[in-house]
Each structure stands twice: as C-alpha cells, then as structure tokens.
Amino acid sequence: MNNEQSARLRLLPPVHEFVSDLLKNEEISSFYSSAAITWAVRNSLDKARGIILHTNHNLSGELNSKEKFWQYPTEEFSKEIRKWLVKEVISQLHRSGSTLRRVINATGVILHTNLGRAPLAPEVARFVGEQALAYNNVELDIETGSRGSRYGHVQDLLIELTGAEASLVVNNNAAAVLLIMNTFANQKEVIVSRGELVEVGGAFRIPEVLKTGGAKLVEVGATNKTWLRDYKEAVNSETAMILKVHTSNYRIEGFQHSVSLEELVQLGREFDIPVVEDLGSGSFLDGVEYGLPKEPTIQDAVKNGASLVTFSGDKLLGGPQAGIIVGKKELIEQLKKNQLMRALRVDKLTLAALAGTLQLYQRGEVLKIPVWAMLSKTNDALKEEANSLFALLDGSSSIRVWVEENFSCVGGGAFPTAVLPTFVCAVRPVKNSVVELERYLRSGDVPILARIERDKILLDPRTLLVNDFEEIVKKLKIWD
Ligand SMILES: *Cc1c(COP(=O)(O)O)cnc(C)c1O
C-alpha cells in the first residue's frame, strides 16, 4: 500500500456515521430498515477499499466510469467517495442480495432460455404479485370449504382453449414427458421415430428422459425418413405408447418423410395403444397469421386425436415455466395418481401466472402477451423504434450510430427456419473495441444484452420493452 492509498482509505467514512446520514435521507429510510442499510454500507465500503487497493497502477487508465472517485485528488475525494457510496448502497439495496436481476434483451431473440424465456404481461405480473402477498385458495374449494384441486384453477381455461377433455400442469415440459413415461411406459416399450430423437438444449434429450421414466425406447425409421409401416412393424405386446416429438428446433430439408399424427392415431386405435405428442413450444395461435411458417397448433393435435399432448408454458404460450398436459380424461386421472406428481407439481405463483396468461387468450387479448406483441410488430413500427433509438443516441462522441435492416428470431427451439425482418440500431465505438462496449453494456444494475456482429453492436427493438429505451440511452450517454 502506498501513501496515497492509505490517505484515501482514511478518508472513507465510518460505517455508523454513514448509516445515520443515510437514515436522514427519506428516499432511502422510508423503504429500507437500518439493518438493511448497515449491511449495504458495509458491503459498499468493502468494495471501495478493494478498488482503492487494487487500482494502484492504473490511476487514470482503465477505470470503469462508475469508479472514477479514485481519480480525484485527496481534497475532493471525501465528497466524491460519499456520492459514489450513496449510489452503490442504493444499487445494493435494490438488488436485495441476489445475483438475479432484470436484464434488457436487445438481442432480438424473443424466447431466450438464458434470459428466462417469456416475459409476462404487466397485468399478469400484477395478478401474480397479489397472490404472492397473501394466502390464496390454491388447494381449497371455496364453495364447500373442503380441499380443492390445485389444477382445477386452469382446467376450464385449458379445456376451452384446446378442446381437450382434461388437463394437468407440472413443472416444465420435460417433467410432463417424464411423468407420462413413468405412468404408462415403465418397463415397457415406447416407439419413436429416429428423426425425432432430439436434444432440446440444457442436455435434455428425448432418449434420456424416456430412460429416466423407465421406458424402453424403440427407435424406428431412419434419420430422414420414417414410414407408417416402420411403426407398425415395431408394435408388439410390450408396446405401451407411440410418441411423436415435435422437432421444433431443427428441420430436415429435402429427402425426408415423417408420419402424420392422424396416421399414428389410426395405428394406435388399431392396436389400442395411446399416441402422445410432445409439441415442445406449443401454440394456441396459427403462426401463419403472424408471418410464421405453418406449424400444428395445440388444438390441431387434440382434434387429430392425440391421447395426450404436452407443451411448455414459457415458450410460444408466453406464460411462466410450466409443462402442460392436455388430453383424454381417463389418462390424465392416471397421471394425477402417480407419486411423482408430488415432486413435479407447480406452486401457486406459477398457477397464477398461467391462469392470467390463459385468460388473455380466452378474452382475445393476445397482443397483451409480450411474446405475441413482439412476434407481430410491424416493419413500420420496428423502423420507427430503431429510428427513435438512433435519434436519442446520435451525437454522442464515443459512439457512431445508424439504423440498418437485419433479422430477429423466435428462439426457444420454436420456428427454427423463421426469419423475422427487423430494423436494428447499430452502434460502433469510436475509440474502444466492440468487445469492451458489449462488456460495458452487460455491466451494472440493469445489464443490456445485445448482439455483436463483427465490428458493431446491434440493438434490436423487437425484444425491447417500454422502459428499456430510456435505460439504454442513459447507459450509452455516459460511456466514454
Ligand atoms: C422445449 C422442449 C422441451 C422441453 O420443455 P421445457 O419446458 O423446457 O422443459 C421438450 N420437448 C420439446 C420438443 C421441446 O421443444
């Protein structure tokens, strides 16, 4: 430690003194207890000490703009460090000790698994908040006062929206497939086309899930071609089920053939075996109306006779993480009796988020669901948003900005071949590198995730939410 460093360390305010200063600030003291403030002050002082001790040789060089307090001469240091500490304390209190925080998705990938997939509609989030703050009737029948069904709260909505006889909700779609395998195919055979043995990210592979559920996988056909006779030849007395997996995240183009759900249902009837379809990112809406390729809807799968259909809650549905199963009542009843259900069940907040989102479909307020609002943004709207971001950022000396045409994508393994034309705001740093700019955008309380394309950063307005524009501008304006 050199003299300058020890002088600065001595100028740091004592914990109790700084805490009592902050307690006089109503903006802070009316929201946080003195215990929380003390905790945040201790952390912030530790961080300041760390910066003072470790930025020794880089006095004017590579400091983050937030940490400039170190560069002030000792006379001004006292004042500057206090300003920095107030900001740091507020940001620590804001984060409430967790590493989990809101991020801005400027990547243009609508369903980004790393970024939590679907954001909820504001009114759905409000509904979840209300249920979170109180007790609710998750397992109570209000009418009779006796125990009710956890799943009854979304059952009517799911039946109305899909046309199925019954429904069940579990933790996620992987859990839905696992539960189905374990209930109906434990120690028995399940027939799946070789072209559908997919991996859907995070090491979730269809063959592994079948195995975990106790099922014996019987692969039929070839990677590119499977025919009805392949399935038929595989049926025997050990066959528990035919599983069709929607290969949502890749596509075989060209010389290929797969068997339709209707044909499989026909075959299933002949041999009295259930046909289950894992739709992955199932959708209630026909994507074609939104400029997307033709894909079967959940209602199609139900109508075409699948015994059970499974899909995710947080992909195209635009709700919370959940695995939804709809289909024949008799089979759903058997699923409910499986002991695994206790481990796979969803909590009241997930149910609230799902019920709220399903209600938006029921009322025809689909564009209130962020995923569908993003999917259906028009070219004109995207151009206007990119232009307004450009206008707000233009004139900064540290970056060069312009608008260009590019593509967004759906993500989450849905519509792999869909290209969604968009207009992006491109940003190129004047003196720093794009890597530095990208890292800077990712730093701080509200990280901004953007796409790097060679020597520029692209900000795609398609996935930006209302307050995001202001945050992006605020952050880029102070970059130098
Ligand atoms: C995404 C997906 C899953 C897994 O769904 P989660 O809800 O993430 O568990 C399973 N099957 C298919 C076909 C998928 O696309």
> CB of 173 closer than 6 A to ligand 1?
yes
pLDDT tens digits, one per residue of 278-317: 999 889 999 888 888 888 899 999 999 999 999 999 999 9
Pairing of strands 323-327, 308-312: antiparallel
pLDDT tens digits, one per residue of 173-217: 999 999 999 999 999 999 999 999 988 766 678 899 999 999 999
Residues in the chain, total: 480
Which of helix, strand or coil describes residue 34? helix
Helix axes 34-54, 15-23, angle to 10 degrees: 130
Query: Phi first, then psi: what are they for 425, rounded to 5°?
Result: -95, 115
Alpha carbon distance 45, 440 (integer Å): 23
Residue 190 tokens, joined = 């399940």
pTM for the predicted model, two decimal places: 0.87
At the topology level, CATH places domain 104-114+373-477 in Aspartate Aminotransferase, domain 1 (3.90.1150)
Run of H or E including 452:
strand 451-453
Residue 49 pLDDT more than 70? yes
Residue 442 pLDDT more than 50? yes
- 3 Cβ contact partners less than 8 Å away, ≥ 6 residues apart: none
Q: Averaged over 127-149, what is the pLDDT?
A: 95
Contact call for residues 439 and 409 (beta carbons, < 8 A): no
Contact call for residues 353 and 120 (beta carbons, < 8 A): yes
- Choose the residue to mutate in 113, 171, 173 for probing ligand 1, maximizing ligand atoms within 8 Å of C-beta: 173
Residue 356 pLDDT more than 70? yes
Contact call for residues 159 and 314 (beta carbons, < 8 A): no
Beta bridge partners of 111: 411
| Per-residue pLDDT at 305 | 97
Residue 16 pLDDT more than 80? yes
Beta bridge partners of 266: none
What is the whole-number distance in angstroms between the Cα of residue 458 and the centre of ligand 1? 29
- 177 Cβ contact partners less than 8 Å away, ≥ 6 residues apart: 206, 209, 210, 213, 278, 310, 323
Task: Kindly provide the residue ranges of all beta strands, DSSP E only, lying in 136-274, ordered along the sequence.
Answer: 166-170, 189-193, 216-220, 239-245
Residue 59 pLDDT more than 80? no
Alpha carbon distance 310, 153 (integer Å): 18
Q: Which atom of ligand 1 is nearest to the CA of 281?
A: 15
Nearest to 315 by CA among 370, 275, 252, 378: 370
pLDDT-derived band at 61, boundaries 50, 70, 90: very low
More confident residue, 92 or 251: 92
Alpha carbon distance 12, 316 (integer Å): 51
121-366 carries CATH number 3.40.190.10: no
Alpha carbon distance 381, 385 (integer Å): 6
Number of alpha carbons in the 13 Å side-chain half-sphere of residue 423: 16
Alpha carbon distance 248, 133 (integer Å): 37
Residue nearest to atom 11 of ligand 1 (CA): 280
| Per-residue pLDDT at 249 | 65
- Burial of 59 by CB count in 10 Å (0-12 exposed, 13-18 middle, 19+ buried)? exposed
What is the whole-number distance in angstroms between the Cα of residue 339 and the centre of ligand 1? 22
The DSSP output letter for 92 is H
Percentage with pLDDT > 70 across the chain: 94
Q: Averaged over 82-88, what is the pLDDT?
A: 90
Residue nearest to atom 6 of ligand 1 (CA): 173
Query: Phi first, then psi: what are they for 363, rounded to 5°?
Result: -85, 0
Residue 330 pLDDT more than 50? yes
Contact call for residues 375 and 315 (beta carbons, < 8 A): no
Residue 363 pLDDT more than 80? yes
Percentage with pLDDT > 90 across the chain: 72
Q: Averaged over 65-75, what is the pLDDT?
A: 68
Task: Tell me the DSSP string of 332-356.
Answer: HHHHHHSTHHHHHPPPHHHHHHHHH
Q: Which atom of ligand 1 is nearest to the CA of 322?
A: 7
Residue 261 pLDDT more than 70? yes
Contact call for residues 451 and 108 (beta carbons, < 8 A): yes
| Per-residue pLDDT at 2 | 80
Please tell me the least confidently modeled range out of 288-297, 303-312, 330-339, 451-460: 288-297
Nearest to 116 by CA among 254, 286, 250, 315: 315
Contact call for residues 204 and 178 (beta carbons, < 8 A): no
How far, CA to CA in Å, does 10 sit from each of 1, 16, 81, 323?
A: 13, 15, 12, 57
Residue 77 pLDDT more than 50? yes
Beta bridge partners of 194: none
Burial pattern 170-207, b for ≥16 Cβ within 10 A else e, equals: bbbbbbbbbbbbbbbbeebbbbbbebbbbebeeeeebe
Cα Rg of the chain, angstroms: 27
Q: Where are the domains of the chain?
A: 3-96, 104-114+373-477, 121-366
Nearest to 425 by CA among 381, 447, 394: 394
Contact call for residues 305 and 265 (beta carbons, < 8 A): yes
| Per-residue pLDDT at 230 | 96
> CB of 281 closer than 6 A to ligand 1?
yes
Task: Tell me the DSSP string of 41-55.
Answer: HHHHHHHHHHHHHH-
pLDDT tens digits, one per residue of 222-256: 888 999 999 999 999 999 999 999 886 667 777 88
Q: Averaged over 44-61, what is the pLDDT?
A: 73
What is the whole-number distance in angstroms between the Cα of residue 79 and the centre of ligand 1? 54
What is the overall mean pLDDT for the chain? Answer: 91
What is the whole-number distance in angstroms between the Cα of residue 311 and the centre of ligand 1? 7
